Structure 1
Amino acid sequence: MEEDPQPQVEVPCYFLCPISLAIMRDPVTLPTGITYDRDGIERWLLTATTCPLTKQPVPADCDPTPNHTLRRLIQSWCALHDADSADRVHTPKPRVDRTAVTALVSRVHSAATGSAPPQRPQLLAALRELRDVAAESDRNRKLVAAVPGAVDVLAAVFAASANKSSEGTGTADAVRDDALEVIALLPVPEQCLRRLEETNEALVSALVSALQWSSAPSRARAALLLERVTAALPPSRLASLPEQVFREAVELLRDRPVSRPATKAALQVLVRTAAWGRNRVKAVDAGAVPVLVDMLFDDGAERRACELVLAALDRLCGCADGRAELVAHAAGVAAVGRKALRVSEVATDKAVRVLRSVARHAGTSAVVQEMAQAGVAAMLCVVAQSEQYGKRTRERARETLRLHARAWRTSPCLNHHLQAVYPC
């Protein structure tokens, strides 16, 4: 005879987090008087400024108060109902506060400004403690970033150690990489990054040095931080970036196994900085065009990465050297045309822009024939008549087709049905 199943124990409603509806493991109370599980409410407050239940505003620097009494009640209840598979709620480990983080930052600053060699181990130890704190949670990262001068101190340590690491100092390498890791973890606002670069002119050079000499993880962090810094720079500074920035960005693209986020960051740097003519020449001289063309043959690449590759080629084909490099590549024109209809509307638009630039400014008879043989003319006809693409994209395709209508309209490479819709 089968035994009756044990009835499930109902969890008291006040033990449940209003956000997750699960038993609270670390209950905390907001100034509004409502208690939530710490993990749930901290995630909520990352993107919201109100209490989820009362909708009352919550200060940005609010640190929820631990509800020790409720936590002990939940622990006791879970212990009584352990046989019913209720998870025990363990006492959370002590959390760092603003005072502790401020003291850590002060230790980093003191060790960094000391001139005696014994200060190096203390600096490394303080940096690693700060890194562990920041890596623990979003709340800790916000706490570190909010300490006055913390980001400035870390940037100064990173820049100074990067210069020394290029001289082959092992300890400086470790300091550079740890400082970079902490900065990369922090949610640094754009205006703060702009101010950092203005007050610390060696920051960009330090990032270039990290791209040259670091391990793969640190190179990836340097690329991501460089992308954030260039996004914050004013146009006057972007237009005068050193050649090393482009050389290292291209080298990172050539060595793509570093990481996909780092690859996209390097592409973003090229797209953003190549808006200026001098930077286009620097990027082309660094070998960007053949590397970008080769990336178009990676069928496993993400859509966004492919869009960025075509956007970068569009920028670089804005100068004669860039167009010459694309045309000189054995598969340059074909690679761009190959991606035009296969990725996205954005990718199609960028590909059409590249091909229009080549047809208009580098359209020798050999190039025009290559474009027909590679199926570029057929692709442009499809884009020109398809409502799937934007009006400006279709108009660019028609404009490109008109440039070489005499050669393409009657080309044997163009199907008869496409010849019939060829724009006049």
Structure 2
Amino acid sequence: MAEIEVPSYFLCPISLEIMKDPVTISTGITFDRDSIEKWIFSYKNRTCPLTKQPLSDADLTPNVTLRRLIQSWCTLHASHGVERLPTPKPPVTKPQLLSLLAGAGATPQTQIKCLHRLRSIASTNQTNRICMEKSGAADFLAALVVGASGETSGEALSILHSLQLSESSLKTLASRPEFVNCLTRFMQSSSYESRAYAVMMLKSMAEVADDPAHLFSSNPQILIELIQILKDQICKKATKAALKVLIAICAWGRNKIKAAQAGLVGVMINLLLESTDKRSSEMMLTVLDLVCQCAEGRAELLQHGAGLAVVSKKILRVSHVGSERAVRVLHSVARFSATAAVLQEMVQIGVVAKLCLLLQVECGVKTKERARDILKMHARAWRNSSCVPHTFVSLCQS
């Protein structure tokens, strides 16, 4: 394949790979279906990738002529190992979906059969998934998640998550307490897969909710289950989804106190000890920053043997965002919980030295301001310590 010169018009302008299912957008440019669907639907772009012109609509028209040319070219070069591309299935239509949903019946057997067909349709392309949502498949699946049991309910949840629902559909689901409660029950199940789908569904709903706190206020058990998922480390996607939901929860009202009382701070510290993923570490530090805005959260941080040390260690080792969140945590402690013992610990484990270093390197302006504020706040307690840099006084005054 590498020795054969592929005609340029057979290649997708986005990926530069040979097109398997060429489709034309409203600007008249042809792309491979998978590539342009990611551009429009996954990345939320509303312009042509090549011309930068706005798209009048998101309709994708199959370029049958080009597809036949590509198939003929593949057949002509079969002796060189080029495989003929299969003819892609046409997108599903709304009447087809309505007929499928109407025939689902009320028995577990017919429902499972319908779900298997829906999964196949959803896995084909984004166009099918959008058509499924417009045809009422999301409501059908949500009803099975709540009303069915066992395999049927779990299968419906996984397909519902795969649809990548629009904001309006997610808000509709978030407004249904019975659906949220059902997701909580899934998070308590013995199936890691069901728990992961449930928390990822909650994450999607929390991202679009006008008031995320209201989404979870009726069911305090959600907080407990999110923490348990973090402890169990089901998978990376579930961990990141749980962290995003916790950020949404802890940003509101007394949820910070509830999270601290549920042991969230200790879980975050333990995860940070082993975390090597940049984005995960940033989110963990963000959760700590939120929870440490209350006295209960700071108390839990200081009670943990590695609390201050881990937060300090992440400064300048994760990202600018990670450093900013870590300094915010230390600032909350220094401002509201700085007993003589805490100040002494901050010197001994290197927190003060790290803050001094932070002032001498490139980082965010607000991060430096908070670091300097911490040093000035307790300069009298730290200035004569042998564990702080000799530049301590000058850095505090600069």
Range of TM-score over shorter length: 0.7 to 0.9
**Identity score, percent:** 41
Range 189-198 or range 178-187, more displaced:
189-198
Determine the C-alpha separation between the residues in 2 that align with 1:406 and 1:368.
11
Q: Does residue 249 in structure 1 map to residue 218 in structure 2?
A: no
More displaced stretch, 18-27 vs 346-355:
18-27
2:352 aligned with 1:352: no
- Give the letter for the 2:373 counterpart: E
Give the CA RMSD over aligned residues: 3.0
- Aligned counterparts, 1:152-167, within 5 A: 152-161=139-148
Contact 2:320 2:363 in 1 (8 A): yes
Q: Is 1:320 matched up with 2:316?
A: no
Residue 192 of structure 1 is aligned with which of 145, 158, 169? 169
Which of 19-28 and 149-158 deviates more? 19-28
Give the Å deviation of 1:91. 3.6
Matching residue of 1:204:
180
* Distance in 1, Cα, partners of 2:256 & 2:63: 55
Q: 1:31 to 1:290 in 2, by over 3 A?
A: closer
Over residues 24-72 of structure 1, what are the superposed CA-to-partner deviations in whole Å (9 max), with x where a residue is unaligned?
Answer: 5445566777766555555555444559689684532x252462x6655
Question: 1:422 is matched by which residue type in structure 2?
Answer: C
Letter in 2 for 1:205: N
Task: Establish whether residue 412 from structure 1 lines up as the match of residue 386 from structure 2.
Answer: yes
Residues 365-387 of structure 1, C-alpha deviation per residue, up to 9 Å, x if partnerless? 1111111111111122222x235
Q: Secondary structure at the match of 1:379?
A: helix
Quick one: which amino acid aligns to residue 64 of structure 1? T
TM-score normalised by structure 2 residue count: 0.87
> SS in structure 1 opposite 2:265?
helix
Measured at CA, do residues 128 and 10 of structure 1 come closer, stay the same or move farther in structure 2, by a change above 3 Å? Answer: closer
Please, what TM-score do these two structures have when normalized by structure 1? Answer: 0.82
Please give the alpha-carbon distance, in whole angstroms, between the structure 1 residues aligned to 2:164 and 2:318.
32
Aligned CA distance change for structure 1 residues 406 and 39 (closer, same or farther; 3 Å): closer
Q: Deviations over 1:65-118 (max 9, x none)?
A: 462x6655655554455335443244445653332223233344x43xxxxxxx
Q: Does 2:278 correspond to 1:303?
A: yes
Aligned pair 1:421/2:398, yes or no? no
Cα deviation digits, residues 300-349 of structure 1 (max 9, x gap): x2111111111101111111111111111111111111112211111111
Structure 2 equivalent of residue 59 of structure 1: 57
Identify which of 85, 100, 103 aligns with 1:104. Answer: 100
Q: Is the 8 A contact 2:183 2:202 kept in 1?
A: yes
**1:326–1:332 contact (8 Å) kept in structure 2:** yes
Query: 1:221 aligned to 197, 205, 227, which one?
Result: 197
Number of paired residues? 391
CA deviations 1:108-152 (Å, max 9, x no partner) are 4x43xxxxxxx12211221122122212322322222232x3222
Q: What letter corresponds to residue 127 of structure 1 in structure 2?
A: L
* Structure 2 counterpart of 1:372, from 339, 343, 347: 347
Asked whether the 8 Å contact 1:386–1:394 carries over to 2, the reply is: no
Q: Equivalences for 1:2-401 in 2 at 5 Å?
A: 16-17=10-11, 19=13, 25-27=20-22, 37-39=32-34, 42-43=37-38, 45-46=40-41, 47-48=45-46, 50=48, 57=55, 59-60=57-58, 62-65=59-62, 67=64, 75-76=71-72, 78-93=74-89, 95-108=91-104, 110-111=105-106, 119-147=107-135, 149-161=136-148, 172-198=149-175, 200-235=176-211, 237-238=214-215, 240-256=217-233, 258-299=234-275, 301-383=276-358, 385-386=359-360, 388-401=362-375
Unaligned runs of 5+ in 1: 1-7, 112-118, 162-171
SS at 1:410's partner residue? coil
Kept after mapping to 2: 8 A contact 1:50/1:56: yes
SS at match of 1:411: coil
